[in-house]
């Protein structure tokens, strides 16, 4: 029939119809999100469902002398109250963390951070549960509180973790103090020391990265429903990695893995906050087993900000050795990492400091050495990758600030110093001093394009004039220009170096083409807003020539989706995106056989062309993918199985290394410390671009979070461990009014090892954005001798920094 | 973040509401827009057993002139203050201040009466009321009375309003000719309370300041009327020097707490900066 078409469609029209890679296809999931028709965990209502709520610790460090739940139990509507004593016989009072530590599900003997979970109240509605939570009475004996990580390993520091106080060996080697978790070292210490001994110029500065929180709009939540007859558990939850949750739940509960059904429905943002396993999930499961009813647990905002995974709290001391001409010759970094009361970082298991060894950044350091000390404090556990790959935003911030400090010392322009040290295009694939093989890049082209886009020399001239006017007393405004050049490391990861609890960090895709040519595809990842339903369909559309509109993407149901490690660390495109392409290619190989059979030629004599197989040299003789799909079910070639589907589990050969050049122009009102972003230009190179509109959206969102972190976010504790301002009144979540206008640009350097050359982009803007903002604020004061002003750059801190420079009269 | 349980009432007349307050005593609270009280209830910092919603009382609404005075019903929302064209022309500082309160959703619910009567030092309207020497019209079991704003605020959430009284309206005298008012607010983001804010009114005659009133928001447990700072400018020429003097004098009466908006010393300095900037703007408006 196709052969009979009177007017053949142009190749361009056929291509456009697919809405494949490179198309600014609108996000299909937004049809439901923008109409309030999403289906989130808290939308779930099951018959007889009960509600759980926590009674939490008032103190940051205290011994629990007694817990009296009698008044709570007596409240009408309360069904059960669980404490550590109830979990202990089930061996569920403690749970393993992803970092090889254990965490108390409910505190038994002592509490280690304020708002720690002590009792789980289960009631017929959430109002009664909240009332009953107030009625639990706990008698405490207060203990000395450890808040400052720099005091954690002092000889007289209070010992926090009595459960492991005597263990001299931790999950990552020797512990030399009861509050010490690990020391992680990488690089060549001796060669680095030598580089510093021979250095003409050296800089050293403490660069802290404050404690912040991913703060997704939807908080963490779960519904557990245990079917006693079948012995099956169904768990709905806010899970970035549902398959891993199922495996962990099986190990913890001894319920066989195939009898656990984990479902992650729509998720309202994750940003790393929804990777780990939390006491609320475990308690909802236990409560459902105990009561025989479905049990829902929903965190409120204060619980989210003060108990489920924080990010950063990294205290980095960076040293750079260089020649007088500004060529870097060595990098040495020491990090003090505050992990809170339990080591619940969500890193690949062998990487206690994540991929912090990306800290040499985009520069050609001949030698480097890094050491990281992790310590316990009386704060909430976490240390997750908040919209970044593991500890990568910390590393990028560290090196980008350190380069600016070096530029100031050498009297060099920060952009010029970078141009002198960026890895050159011909050096790729580039082996870094700390062991990574960067896949591809053209750094000089990217930075030069960004400098041109903002007319950099003109900005510097304007800044100089403003500084002169400031010093003459004619203005109280200063101007800062922040340059940041970052290299991300994403797509965890190759099984040779990445696993979670022993499970290699591959990912997967399963694609099934139905007789009419409609496609259902399922992946082991899980979108939390990244628009996987749109972009995976575009990969498939381009790979096998079926319109994206005819392709449905499903994720998050462990019964139906192939096993995968989930979505975080910008890994979905590098891993599941690659698996998608590989599965498509298996399908295509079979389609080729079917097409050849239908066209009565040898399969070597047909070739793929957009949406069809064509007999070579005879464009009028073809079979479309739609024809082939029907034939696969109707009349498959002899000797070939019917059907048209494929599964791929993709173990990436390497990480991918997206990069970018960001420039921020900031106006600073010295009298109030208020900083206003005049201009922000972000150039990203994420390799092959699947959907430019979605990339721009990702960049806008990531830059907004970077802006929030650099300019205001902080989870603060007072000296006795009370968490301050754990609400959106104080925790800075910018609105559209505060958010700057973003300008975006790009270059395209495909990854040579990825099937479609894509690298991932979701987290780049956070990684590159934070140093751009911070460098801009710092840059405004550099001409007055300032070396480093710590984040967050909220007005009072900027005002104080100006005061310290003698600028406040 | 779930409030305790309470009984809910929605009276239709002022008398009915006053009677409910008298019946339930300290266990009752009035609610209008609810944007101060309900968050406090969710945090269980306020746990009233009886919540009396005055939203259905028609007599509490409306913006009117009474002679040259403005008489604004307590139930007037911030959004209504912003939308009223006569008020925008005659007393623009109210619109200007209302626009600085939270965001449009909050302003659609939040009321002038709630903003001034709750006694929250973070609220913006009380300082404007002190600055403009407003009076609060109040009804209780014993009838009506009128309380001057200057003298109404005694501490955080402590005011001259008796437990069984309701603020029904706010009365503000028109500004004298040749004068103008301004409100300057420093905040971290939309929806935030002021780090520091200043309400000023200033009159000019023959190039000299002949009238000046200054008040401060969120720089002490109560809004502050900086009487001396205002008085010091009488007879002076408007300009940076005069405004700096007023700023310094205003700083002297502040007593802010240190919080996430900044340490007390910074917030005090910002009080001075806001005074200077508000005076500069008011002086410009008074001239034109």
pLDDT tens sequence across A222-239:
999 999 999 999 999 999
State yes or no: is A398 an active-site residue: no
Q: Are A608 and A545 in contact, with CB atoms under 8 Å apart?
A: yes
The torsion defined by the Cα of B145, B151, B155 and B161, in degrees rounded to 10, comes to 0
pLDDT confidence bin for A1, thresholds 50/70/90: very low
Cross-chain CB nearest to A724 (options B44, B192, B260): B260
Q: Are A339 and A314 in contact, with CB atoms under 8 Å apart?
A: no
Q: Are A509 and A575 in contact, with CB atoms under 8 Å apart?
A: no
Give the Cα separation of A21 and A11 in Å (integer). 15
Q: Which residue has the tokens 């709750």?
A: B118
Task: Give the residue from A629, A650, A671 where a domain finishes.
Answer: A650
Residue A751 placed within a domain: yes
Q: Residue A750 belongs to a domain with what CATH number?
A: 3.30.365.10
DSSP assignment, residue A270?
-
Tell me, yes or no, if B49 comes closer than 8 A to chain A by beta carbon.
no
Q: How far is CA B268 from each of CA A594, A715, B253, rounded to the nearest angstrom?
A: 80, 24, 9
Q: How far is CA B273 from each of CA A671, B74, B197, rounded to the nearest angstrom?
A: 7, 31, 9
Q: Where would I find the beta strands (DSSP E) of A58-126? A: 62-68, 78-82, 94-96, 102-104, 110-111, 117-123
DSSP assignment, residue A573?
I
Mean pLDDT for chain B overall: 96
Q: Are B114 and B141 in contact, with CB atoms under 8 Å apart?
A: no
Give which of A767, A793, A765 is closest to A779, Cα–Cα: A793
Residue A399 placed within a domain: yes
Chain A neighbors of B270, CB-CB under 8 A? 672
User: pLDDT per position in chain B (288 positions), as tens?
Assistant: 899 999 999 999 999 999 999 999 999 999 999 988 999 999 999 999 999 999 999 999 999 999 999 999 999 999 999 999 999 999 999 999 999 999 999 999 999 999 999 999 999 999 999 999 999 999 999 999 999 999 999 999 999 999 999 999 999 999 999 999 999 999 999 999 999 999 999 999 999 999 999 999 999 999 999 999 999 999 999 999 999 999 999 999 999 999 999 999 999 999 999 999 999 999 999 986
- Bridge-partner residues for B66, per DSSP? B69
Give which of A234, A102, A129 is closest to A558, Cα–Cα: A234
DSSP assignment, residue A526?
-
Q: Is the peptide bond before A274 cis (omega within 30 degrees of 0)?
A: no
Q: Are B260 and B252 in contact, with CB atoms under 8 Å apart?
A: no
Quote the minimal CA–CA distance from B161 to chain A in Å: 28
* Count of structural domains within chain A: 3
Q: Are A297 and A219 in contact, with CB atoms under 8 Å apart?
A: no
Q: Are B131 and B215 in contact, with CB atoms under 8 Å apart?
A: yes
Q: Is A617 exposed, middle or buried (0-12, 13-18, 19+ CB in 10 A)?
A: exposed
How confident is the model at residue A74, as a pLDDT? 98
Give pLDDT tens digits for B61-110: 999 999 999 999 999 999 999 999 999 999 999 999 999 999 999 999 99
User: Same domain, yes or no, for A734 and A588?
Assistant: no
User: Same domain, yes or no, for A606 and A712?
Assistant: no
pLDDT confidence bin for A7, thresholds 50/70/90: confident
Phi (first) and psi of residue A226, to 5 degrees: -100, 125
pLDDT confidence bin for A5, thresholds 50/70/90: low
Q: Which residue has the tokens 């103190």?
A: A59
Residue A185 placed within a domain: no
The H-assigned helical ranges of A565-713 are: 578-599, 625-634, 692-711
Residue A319 placed within a domain: no
User: Chain-centre distance of CA A398, in angstroms?
Assistant: 18
Three-class HEC string of A189-204: HHHHHHHHHCCCEEEE
User: Same domain, yes or no, for A601 and A668?
Assistant: no
**3-state class (DSSP) for residue A15:** helix
Taking residue A545's Cβ as centre, other Cβ atoms within 10 Å add up to 26
With CA atoms as reference, the chain A residue closest to B186 would be: A672
Sign of CA dihedral B242, B248, B253, B258: positive
Looking at chain B, how many residues does it have?
Answer: 288
User: Same domain, yes or no, for A57 and A132?
Assistant: yes
Q: Are B124 and B194 in contact, with CB atoms under 8 Å apart?
A: yes
Q: Are A182 and A172 in contact, with CB atoms under 8 Å apart?
A: yes
User: Same domain, yes or no, for A634 and A674?
Assistant: no
Phi (first) and psi of residue A514, to 5 degrees: -90, 170
Whether residue A131 and residue B4 make contact (CB cut-off 8 A), yes or no, is yes
Judging by DSSP bridges, how do beta strands B166-172 and A437-438 pair with one another?
A: unpaired
**Among A25, A387, A391, A612, which one carries the catalytic annotation?**
A387
User: Same domain, yes or no, for A118 and A228?
Assistant: yes
With CA atoms as reference, the chain B residue closest to A737 would be: B190
End-to-end CA distance of chain B, in Å? 50
Whether residue B190 and residue A737 make contact (CB cut-off 8 A), yes or no, is yes
Give pLDDT tens digits for A107-140: 999 999 999 999 999 999 999 999 999 999 999 9
State yes or no: is A240 an active-site residue: yes
Give the Cα separation of B114 and A556 in Å (integer). 47
Q: Are A303 and A245 in contact, with CB atoms under 8 Å apart?
A: no
**Among A210, A240, A463, A713, which one carries the catalytic annotation?**
A240
Quote the minimal CA–CA distance from B46 to chain A in Å: 14
User: Same domain, yes or no, for A515 and A569?
Assistant: yes
Give which of B225, B209, B276 is closest to B247, Cα–Cα: B276
- Tell me which residues of chain A have a C-beta less than 8 Å from any C-beta of chain B: 126-127, 130-131, 134, 300-302, 671-674, 712, 716, 724-725, 729-730, 732, 734-735, 737-738, 794-796, 799-800, 808
Q: Residue A110 belongs to a domain with what CATH number?
A: 3.90.1170.50
Residue A249 placed within a domain: yes
Give which of A788, A530, A547, A510 is closest to A650, Cα–Cα: A510
Q: Where would I find the beta strands (DSSP E) of A692-769? A: 716-717, 723-724, 743-746
Give the Cα separation of A129 and A219 in Å (integer). 18
Task: Flag whether pLDDT at A686 surpasses 60.
Answer: yes
Give the Cα separation of A237 and B256 in Å (integer). 44
Q: How far is CA A501 from each of CA A390, A689, B193, rounded to the nearest angstrom?
A: 16, 33, 46
Whether residue A734 and residue B189 make contact (CB cut-off 8 A), yes or no, is yes
Phi (first) and psi of residue A457, to 5 degrees: -60, -35
How confident is the model at residue B6, as a pLDDT? 96
User: Same domain, yes or no, for A680 and A771?
Assistant: yes
Q: Is A402 exposed, middle or buried (0-12, 13-18, 19+ CB in 10 A)?
A: buried
Whether residue B270 and residue A800 make contact (CB cut-off 8 A), yes or no, is no
Sign of CA dihedral A124, A127, A129, A135: negative
Mean pLDDT of A72-89: 98
How confident is the model at residue A4, as a pLDDT? 55
User: Same domain, yes or no, for A592 and A605?
Assistant: yes
Taking residue A649's Cβ as centre, other Cβ atoms within 10 Å add up to 19
Q: How far is CA A665 from each of CA A169, A461, A680, A785, rounded to the nearest angstrom?
A: 48, 13, 6, 20
Residues in Cβ contact with A148 at an 8 Å cutoff, skipping those fewer than 6 apart: A377
Residue A353 placed within a domain: no
Q: Are B210 and B231 in contact, with CB atoms under 8 Å apart?
A: no
Q: How far is CA A695 from each of CA A521, A535, A765, rounded to the nearest angstrom?
A: 22, 10, 10
Judging by DSSP bridges, how do beta strands A612-615 and A618-624 pair with one another?
A: antiparallel
**Number of inter-chain CB pairs under 8 A, A vs B:** 56
Judging by DSSP bridges, how do beta strands A221-227 and A295-298 pair with one another?
A: antiparallel
**HSE toward the beta carbon, residue A65, CA cutoff 13 A:** 5
User: Same domain, yes or no, for A643 and A755?
Assistant: no
- Bridge-partner residues for A67, per DSSP? A138
- Bridge-partner residues for A164, per DSSP? none
Q: Which residue has the tokens 């009631």?
A: A123
Give the Cα separation of A441 and A487 in Å (integer). 9
Give the Cα separation of A94 and A110 in Å (integer). 13
Give the Cα separation of B273 and B288 in Å (integer). 23
Q: Is the peptide bond before A429 cis (omega within 30 degrees of 0)?
A: yes
Task: Give the residue from A631, A650, A669 where a domain finishes.
Answer: A650
**What pTM was estimated for this model as a whole?**
0.97
Give pLDDT tens digits for B193-228: 999 999 999 999 999 999 999 999 999 999 999 999
> In degrees, to the nearest 5, what angle opens at C-alpha A107 toward C-alphas A354 and A248?
45
With CA atoms as reference, the chain A residue closest to B4 would be: A131
State yes or no: is A696 an active-site residue: no
Find which of A672, A794, A797 to mutate to test the B interface (most B CBs within 10 Å of its CB): A672
State yes or no: is A35 an active-site residue: no
Percent of chain A with pLDDT strictly greater than 90: 96
With CA atoms as reference, the chain B residue closest to A675 would be: B188
Quote the minimal CA–CA distance from B94 to chain A in Å: 21
Give the Cα separation of A624 and A516 in Å (integer). 12
Taking residue B219's Cβ as centre, other Cβ atoms within 10 Å add up to 29
User: Same domain, yes or no, for A114 and A32?
Assistant: no
Residue A315 placed within a domain: no
Q: What is the DSSP string of B71-96?
A: EEETT-BHHHHHH-HHHHHH-HHHHH
How confident is the model at residue A501, as a pLDDT? 86
Cross-chain CB nearest to B190 (options A131, A673, A735): A735
* Domain membership of residue A623 as a residue range: 2-38+507-650
Task: Give the residue from A604, A628, A650 where a domain finishes.
Answer: A650
Residue A179 placed within a domain: no
User: Same domain, yes or no, for A608 and A517?
Assistant: yes
Mean pLDDT for chain A overall: 96
Give the Cα separation of A215 and A808 in Å (integer). 35
Give the Cα separation of A205 and A203 in Å (integer). 7
Residues in Cβ contact with B262 at an 8 Å cutoff, skipping those fewer than 6 apart: A794, A795, A796, A799, B195, B270
Chain B from 141 to 180: CB within 8 A of any A CB: none
Give pLDDT tens digits for A645-684: 999 999 999 999 999 999 999 999 999 999 999 999 999 9
With CA atoms as reference, the chain B residue closest to A724 would be: B260
Assigned token pair, B174: 């028109």
How confident is the model at residue A252, as a pLDDT? 85
Q: Are B147 and B167 in contact, with CB atoms under 8 Å apart?
A: no
């Amino acid at each position: 029939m196709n052969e009979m078409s009177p007017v053949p469609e142009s190749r361009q029209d056929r291509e456009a119809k697919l809405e494949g890679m490179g198309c600014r296809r609108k996000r299909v999931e937004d049809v439901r999100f923008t109409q309030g028709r999403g289906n989130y965990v808290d939308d779930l209502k099951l018959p007889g469902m009960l509600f759980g709520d926590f009674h939490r610790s008032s103190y940051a460090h205290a011994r629990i002398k007694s817990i009296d739940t009698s008044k709570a139990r007596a409240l009408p509507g309360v069904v059960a109250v669980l404490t550590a004593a109830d979990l202990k016989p089930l061996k569920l009072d403690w749970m393993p963390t992803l970092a090889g530590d254990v965490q108390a599900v409910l505190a038994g003997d002592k509490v280690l951070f304020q708002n720690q979970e002590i009792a789980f109240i289960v009631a017929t509605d959430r109002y009664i549960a909240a009332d009953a939570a107030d009625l639990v009475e706990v008698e405490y004996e207060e203990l000395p509180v450890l808040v400052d990580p720099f005091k954690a390993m002092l000889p007289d520091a209070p010992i926090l973790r009595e459960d492991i106080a005597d263990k001299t060996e931790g999950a990552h080697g020797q512990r030399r103090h009861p509050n010490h978790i690990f020391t992680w070292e990488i690089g060549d210490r001796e060669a680095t020391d030598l580089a510093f001994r021979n250095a003409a110029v050296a800089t050293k500065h403490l660069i802290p990265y404050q404690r912040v929180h991913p703060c997704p709009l939807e908080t963490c939540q779960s519904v557990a429903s245990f079917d006693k007859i079948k012995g099956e558990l169904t768990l709905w939850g806010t899970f970035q990695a549902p398959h891993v949750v199922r495996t962990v739940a099986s190990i913890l509960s001894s319920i066989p893995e195939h009898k656990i059904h984990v479902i992650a429905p729509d998720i309202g943002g994750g940003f790393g906050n929804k990777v780990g396993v939390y006491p609320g999930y475990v308690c909802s499961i236990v409560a459902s087993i105990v009561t025989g009813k479905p049990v829902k647990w929903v965190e409120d905002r204060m619980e989210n900000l003060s108990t489920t995974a924080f990010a950063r709290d990294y205290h980095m001391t960076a040293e750079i050795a260089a020649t007088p001409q500004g060529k870097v010759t060595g990098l040495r970094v020491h990090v003090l990492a505050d992990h809170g009361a339990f080591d619940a970082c969500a890193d690949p298991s062998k990487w206690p400091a994540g991929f912090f060894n990306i800290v040499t950044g985009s520069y050609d350091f001949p030698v480097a050495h890094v050491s990281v000390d992790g310590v316990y404090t009386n704060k909430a556990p976490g240390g997750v990758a908040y919209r970044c790959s593991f500890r990568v935003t910390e590393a990028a911030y560290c090196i980008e600030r350190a380069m600016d400090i070096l530029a100031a010392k050498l009297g060099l322009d920060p952009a010029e110093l970078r141009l002198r040290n960026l890895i050159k295009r011909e050096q790729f694939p580039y082996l870094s001093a700390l062991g990574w093989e960067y896949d591809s890049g053209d750094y000089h082209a990217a930075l030069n394009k960004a400098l041109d886009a903002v007319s950099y020399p003109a900005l510097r001239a304007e800044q100089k004039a403003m500084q002169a006017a400031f010093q003459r007393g004619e203005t109280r405004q200063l101007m800062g220009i922040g340059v940041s050049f970052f290299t991300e490391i994403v797509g965890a990861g190759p099984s040779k170096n990445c696993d979670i609890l022993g499970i290699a960090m591959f990912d997967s895709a399963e694609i099934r083409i139905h007789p009419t040519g409609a496609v259902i595809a399922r992946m082991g990842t899980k979108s939390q807003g990244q628009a996987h339903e749109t972009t995976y369909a575009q990969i498939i559309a381009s790979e096998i020539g079926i319109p994206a509109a005819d392709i449905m993407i499903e994720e998050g149901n462990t019964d139906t989706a192939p096993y995968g490690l989930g979505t975080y660390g910008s890994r979905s495109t590098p891993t599941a995106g690659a698996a998608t392409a590989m599965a498509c290619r298996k399908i295509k190989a079979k389609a080729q056989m079917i097409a050849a059979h239908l066209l009565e030629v040898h399969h070597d004599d047909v070739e793929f062309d957009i949406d069809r197989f064509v007999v070579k040299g005879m464009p009028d003789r073809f079979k479309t993918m739609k024809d082939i799909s029907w034939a696969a079910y109707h009349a498959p070639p002899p000797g070939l199985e019917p059907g048209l589907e494929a599964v791929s589990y993709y173990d990436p050969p390497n990480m991918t290394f997206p990069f970018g050049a960001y420039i921020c122009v900031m106006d600073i009102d010295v009298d109030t410390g208020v900083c206003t972003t005049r201009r922000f230009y972000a150039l990203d190179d994420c390799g092959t671009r699947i959907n430019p509109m979605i990339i721009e959206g990702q960049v806008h969102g990531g830059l907004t979070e970077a802006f929030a972190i650099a300019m205001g976010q902080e989870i603060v504790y007072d000296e006795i461990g009370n968490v301050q301002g754990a609400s959106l009144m104080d925790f800075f979540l910018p609105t559209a009014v505060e958010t700057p206008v973003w300008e975006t640009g790009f270059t395209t350097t495909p990854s040579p090892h990825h099937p479609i050359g894509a690298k991932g982009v979701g987290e780049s803007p956070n990684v590159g954005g934070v140093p751009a903002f911070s460098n801009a604020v710092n840059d405004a004061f550099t001409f007055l001798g300032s070396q480093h002003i710590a984040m967050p750059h909220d007005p009072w801190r900027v005002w104080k920094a100006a005061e310290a420079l003698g600028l406040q009269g | 973040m779930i409030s305790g349980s309470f009984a809910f009432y929605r009276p239709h007349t002022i008398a009915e509401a006053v009677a409910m307050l008298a019946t339930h005593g300290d266990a009752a609270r009035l609610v209008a827009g609810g944007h101060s009280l309900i968050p406090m209830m969710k945090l269980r910092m306020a746990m009233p057993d009886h919540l009396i919603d005055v939203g259905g009382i028609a007599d509490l609404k409306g913006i009117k002139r009474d002679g040259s005075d403005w008489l604004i019903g307590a139930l007037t929302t911030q959004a209504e203050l912003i939308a009223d064209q006569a008020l925008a022309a005659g007393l623009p500082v109210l619109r200007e201040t209302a626009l600085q309160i939270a965001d449009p959703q909050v302003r659609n619910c939040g009321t002038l009466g709630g903003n001034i009567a709750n006694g929250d030092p973070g609220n913006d309207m009380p300082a404007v009321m002190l600055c403009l020497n407003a009076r609060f019209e109040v009804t209780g079991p014993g009838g009506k009375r009128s309380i001057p704003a200057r003298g109404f605020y005694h501490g955080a959430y402590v005011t001259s309003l008796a437990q069984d009284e309701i603020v029904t309206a706010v009365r503000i005298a028109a500004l004298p000719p040749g004068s103008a008012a301004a409100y300057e607010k420093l905040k971290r983001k939309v929806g935030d309370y002021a780090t520091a804010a200043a309400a000023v009114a200033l009159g000019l005659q023959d190039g000299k300041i002949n009238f000046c009133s200054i008040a401060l928001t969120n720089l002490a447990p109560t809004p502050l009327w900086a009487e001396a700072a205002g008085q010091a400018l009488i007879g002076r020429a408007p300009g940076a020097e005069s405004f700096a003097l007023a700023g310094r004098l205003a700083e002297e009466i502040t007593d802010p707490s240190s919080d996430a908006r900044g340490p007390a010393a910074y917030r005090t300095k910002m009080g001075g900066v806001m005074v200077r900037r508000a005076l500069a703007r008011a002086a410009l408006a008074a001239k034109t």
